[in-house]
Amino acid sequence: MKPQFPKISLMGERSILIEFEPEIRENLLERILIYKEVIERDIVKLKGEVINTYNSLLITYEYAIENAYEEFLTLEKLFQQVNIEKKLIPRLFHVPVCYDREFGLDLELISKQKYLAEKEIISIHSSPIYTVYFTGFLPGFLYLGGLDKRLHISRKNEPRLEVRKGAVGIGEKQTGIYPKSSPGGWQIIGNSPVQIFNKYEDPPCEISAGDKLKFFPVSKEEFYEISEVVEVGKYELKSEIYES
Amino acid sequence: MKAEIEVTRPGLFSTIQDMGRRGYLRYGVPVSGVMDQYAAKIGNLLLQNPADAAVLEMTLIGPTMIFHGSAKIAISGADFSPQVNKAPVSNNAVIIINPGDELSFGRRIFGCRTYLAVSGGFQTENPLDSQSWYEGVTAQSKLERGDNIPFNSAEDAALETQTAVKVESGYMEQSEIAAFPGPEYHLLSKEEQEILLNFQFSVGKNANRMAIQLKEEFENTLAPILTGPVLPGTVQLTPSGRLIILMRDCQTTGGYPRVLQISEEGMNVLAQKVMGDKLQFNLKIHQ
């Protein structure tokens, strides 16, 4: 019997969707990213692009797909051949966050609901090494995995009409940074002065799927100092090769 | 020669668009680009521009603009009763513009979006390899009073003999929208599938470049999915029964079940729909 996953199907005239087990798992992400790399290199080349989410790959071509059957066969063959033992080499990025009350609008609420001191919230949030699963929602919005269970909290009943650019928030099991000001329903615990998405850079976002991220707390003074360096385009995110 | 178009009245909502941004989905950047690709291409074709040259996309109420420089222009797509110096001009024709001429629009006759193409093209910024306006990527996200839009002025604005372009406008009135099954289509029950395909839906009040929400609610039992890829043309179904058709400025990922995927030609039809317009999905099956 043919295994259920990966499931390959057409999505409209120009795209192919490849679905894996509906799970959020680091080794699944790794497998998907290895496939993605090979698809980009061997199949898509210059005539399309590939994106990934937790458990999917989407190939989008610039033109209508003429022979889907042939494309599917090529992909299936590729999945059988690819050596998924191969290791990706992620980078670990250190992202400053100011958890001051001025930015951490919902720290008090979380503290009450979770019986945690604000200091503990900050320490729990800035300890883990998060995994970047993909970018979506807004340009430069990173979907991070690895939030400590003690900080899982529901979204606001009424979303805020405007969440500040750089806001660091929590929504259910997820945490992330708003790359620009936008309406948003997450509980806000701080703000990062760095610019995750920069349209003048190529690539516009140096953190990508598979990379790792760690938050480090900074004071208000440091926040404004970093902001000034970011403003003039001189701030460089600290990063290193991450070996697990 | 560089020239400018001065905006004296901005109209409702106008943006510069080309065929969209390719290669930046992975950073969460939407594709963007003209909503009605067919109409935009007609305008460029009439002027012998490249088919993907940037155009001005104008929604429901057109702007008023003064040309500071001579130009050859074409207006295509919806019919908003275009006028040059208050005299009516035709859609889908090359129009000669002299410095100081005013282009304006009147009553909407049909369609939702009309396009202005300029011979030589608009010379606006091109961040991430596209001129398409999108908040946060381009400096501007909609046309404002006092804007000056740069374009390449035609040196010789005399009318040359032009190749005839056959223009089809019937699609704008069409209610049938060709669509393929989406990734979660098969999770709908047989009855739900039938309702989805046989019911006449109408365009609700939330309809813009990001998405068109349909007015009627569609009861269903689908569970949310793990956030997955979406595309312009993906039809999402929310737990409350709202059908959301994602359009060109849509996000790159979403968590609602994806029941249909609109065909390329269906996207052009949808681009011309206004609130209250009827539509019915016509399922196409991949060969």
> Which of B170, B185, B202 is at the close of a domain?
B170
Which ipTM did the prediction report?
A: 0.93
SS3 state of residue A67: coil
Least Cα separation, residue A119 to chain B (angstroms)? 32
Name the closest residue on chain A to residue B232, using Cα atoms: A12
B119 and B17 in a common domain: yes
Report d(CA A83, CA A106) in Å as an integer.
46
The answer to whether the Cβ–Cβ distance between B263 and A12 falls below 8 Å is yes
B156 and B277 co-located in one domain: no
* pLDDT score, position A202: 86
Task: Answer positive or negative: Cα dihedral of B228, B234, B237, B243.
Answer: positive
The full 3-state SS of A120-182, as one line of letters, equals HHHHHHHCCCEEEEEECCCCCCEEEECCCHHHCECCCCCCEEEECCCEEEEEECEEEECCCCE
> SS3 for A187?
strand
Q: Are residues B111 and B139 in the same domain?
A: yes
Query: Residue A217 forms beta bridges with which residues?
Result: A97
Enumerate residues 73 to 112 of chain A having a beta carbon within 8 A of any beta carbon in chain B. Answer: none
Give the SS3 label for residue B28: coil
Choose the closest CB to B137 out of A14, A139, A208: A139
Which structural domain range is residue B115 located in? 2-170
User: What residues of chain A lie within 8 A of the CB of B23, using their CB?
Assistant: 49
**SS3 state at A201:** coil
Candidate from A56, A64, A209 with C-beta closest to B228? A56
> Measured between CA atoms, how close is B139 to chain A, in angstroms?
10
Q: Are residues B159 and B264 in the same domain?
A: no
Q: Are residues B7 and B147 in the same domain?
A: yes
Q: Is the peptide bond before A203 cis (omega within 30 degrees of 0)?
A: yes
How confident is the model at residue A56, as a pLDDT? Answer: 98
Which residue in the set A17, A49, A209 is minimally distant from B22, CB to CB? Answer: A49
Query: Which chain A residues have a beta carbon less than 8 Å from that of B251?
Result: 136-138
Statement: residue A84 has pLDDT above 90:
no
Q: In sequence order, what DSSP letters do the residues of B122-161 get, joined into one string? A: B----GGG-----BTTBS-SS--TT-EEEEE--S--PPPP
- Distance, first Cα to last Cα, chain B: 50
Q: Highest mean pLDDT: which of A36-45, A75-84, B191-200?
A: B191-200
From B30's Cα to the closest Cα of chain A, the distance in A is: 8
Domain end position, chosen among B170, B190, B225: B170
pLDDT of residue A137: 86
Residue of A nearest to B259 (CA): A11
User: Average pLDDT of chain A?
Assistant: 93
Looking at the structure, do residues B63 and B158 belong to the same domain, yes or no? Answer: yes
Give SS3 for A29: helix
- pLDDT band at residue A86 under the 50/70/90 scheme: confident
Cβ-nearest to B264 among A13, A68, A143: A13
Residues B206, B155 share a domain: no
Say what percent of chain A tops pLDDT 70: 98
Tell me if B251 sits within 8 A of B234, measured CB to CB: no
Mean pLDDT calculated for residue range A88-99: 95
Check whether residue B190 and residue B249 sit in a common domain.
Answer: yes
CB contact set of A19 (below 8 Å; sequence gap of 6+): A5, A6, A7, A9, A55, A56, B183, B228
List CB contacts (< 8 A) between A53 and chain B.
226-229, 253
CATH of residue B226: 2.40.100.10
Are A145 and A131 in contact by the 8 Å Cβ rule? The answer is yes
Residues B98 and B37 occupy one common structural domain: yes
Listed in sequence order, the residues at least 6 apart from B89 whose beta carbon sits closer than 8 Å to its beta carbon are: B75, B82, B83, B95
| pLDDT tens, residue by residue, A45-68 | 668 899 999 999 999 998 899 999
Last residue of a domain, one of B170, B197, B223: B170
Please tell me whether residues B241 and B261 are part of one structural domain. Answer: yes
Q: The tokens 């040259």 sit on which residue?
A: B53
Contact between B28 and A137 using a beta-carbon 8 Å cutoff: yes
Residue among A10, A24, A138 whose CB faces B286 most closely: A10
Residues B86-143 have pLDDT tens digits of: 999 999 999 999 999 999 999 999 999 999 999 999 999 999 999 999 999 999 999 9
User: Which stretches of chain B score pLDDT less than 50?
Assistant: none
Number of domains in chain B: 2
Q: Which residue of B has its CA nearest to A64?
A: B264
B243 and B161: one domain?
Answer: no
Query: Do B240 and B190 fall within a single domain?
Result: yes
Closest CA to A75 of A166, A5, A155: A5
User: Domains in chain A, please, with CATH?
Assistant: 7-81 (3.30.1360.40), 91-241 (2.40.100.10)
Q: pTM of the entire structure?
A: 0.94
Q: How far is B278 from chain A (nearest CA, A)?
A: 22
Selected for mutation to probe chain B from A11, A66, A138 (highest B CB count within 10 Å) is: A11
Q: What is the pLDDT of residue A24?
A: 92
Name which of A57, A58, A138 is nearest B28 (Cβ-Cβ). A138
